[in-house]
């Protein structure tokens, strides 16, 4: 008689669909311009169902981007057999490639997603871990305050430069990579904290 008024999917299938569509939407629109209602409408379900599968908008966002984060972690993992400088160079290349591939997503991420406390903490954590990775590679012991400040600033430099790069697209990726490397060295030099690299 009556056709069903909605299609009933298995939990796994629905979940997969929501993560997939969510990734598409969240990477192509700023976080705060996407309401849960809009997402639900876009997918063709009710908002309540979204909240049945994810406890909050933030959590949904996080899960949605977890695949992306995993890729970031993997691809920027340095080759331990190489000398420190080369490790850094490789990681930077990988990072910039990822940014270039996902320019819009990166832009939206930096520009808007960080405003949500939990997400910002996530990004801060990535930055902090990256800083630690670099500092550990460069120093045996506790790094001096100026070096720590310099590295912290440099990571911000990276985001700023990447945004500018994406915006204008008038320099090569390798140029940007060398710029970033050079600035890092310059920063450590200016911090009177150039470690032994040779």
| Residues in contact with DNA by the rule CB under 7 A | 2, 4-11, 14, 34-38, 45-49, 51-52, 55-58
Cβ 141 to a second copy shortest distance, Å: 16
Tokens of 90: 């490789």
Contacts of 151-157 with CB under 8 Å at 24 or more apart are 151/184, 151/187, 152/127, 153/187, 154/180, 154/183, 154/184, 154/187, 155/127, 155/130, 155/131, 157/183, 157/187
Tokens of 48: 């309540």
Tokens of 152: 């912290």
83 touches a second copy by CB under 8 A: no
115 touches a second copy by CB under 8 A: yes
For a second copy (CB under 8 A), the number of binding residues is 46
- The item of DNA, a second copy, none sharing an interface with residue 177, based on CB under 5 to 8 Å by kind, is none
Cβ 59 to DNA shortest distance, Å: 8
* Structure-derived torsion over alpha carbons of residues 125, 186, 148, 95, reported in degrees to the nearest 10: 10
Tokens of 167: 């915006």
- The item of a second copy, DNA, none sharing an interface with residue 49, based on CB under 5 to 8 Å by kind, is DNA
**Which is nearer to a second copy, 95 or 154 (by Cβ)?**
154
From candidates 168, 194, 197, 198, binder to a second copy by CB under 8 A: 168
| Residues 54 and 37 sit within 8 Å (Cβ to Cβ) | no
Residue 116: closest CA among 28, 56, 46, 41: 56
- The item of DNA, a second copy, none sharing an interface with residue 146, based on CB under 5 to 8 Å by kind, is a second copy
From candidates 36, 49, 116, 135, binder to a second copy by CB under 8 A: 116
Phi, psi angle pair for 192, to nearest 5°: 50, 40
Q: Which residues bind a second copy (CB under 8 A)?
A: 30-32, 110-117, 120, 145-146, 148-150, 152-161, 163-165, 168, 170-171, 175-176, 178-179, 181-183, 185-187, 189-191
């Amino acid at each position: 008689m009556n056709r069903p008024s909605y299609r009933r999917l298995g939990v796994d299938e629905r979940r997969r669909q929501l993560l997939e569509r969510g990734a598409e939407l969240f990477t192509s629109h700023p976080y705060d311009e996407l309401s849960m209602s809009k997402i639900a409408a876009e997918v063709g379900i009710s908002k309540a169902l979204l909240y049945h599968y994810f406890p909050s908008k933030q959590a949904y966002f996080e899960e949605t981007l977890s695949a992306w984060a995993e890729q970031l972690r993997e691809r920027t993992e340095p080759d331990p057999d190489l000398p420190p400088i080369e490790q850094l160079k490789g990681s930077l290349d990988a990072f910039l490639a990822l940014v270039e591939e996902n320019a819009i997503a990166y832009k939206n991420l930096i520009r808007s997603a960080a405003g949500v406390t939990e997400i910002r903490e996530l990004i801060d954590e990535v930055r902090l871990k990256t800083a630690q990775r670099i500092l550990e590679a460069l120093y045996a012991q506790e790094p001096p305050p100026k070096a720590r400040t310099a590295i912290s600033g440099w990571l911000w430099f990276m985001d700023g430069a990447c945004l500018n790069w994406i915006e204008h697209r008038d320099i090569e990726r390798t140029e940007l990579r060398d710029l970033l490397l050079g600035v890092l060295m310059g920063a450590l030099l200016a911090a009177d904290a150039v470690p032994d690299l040779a």
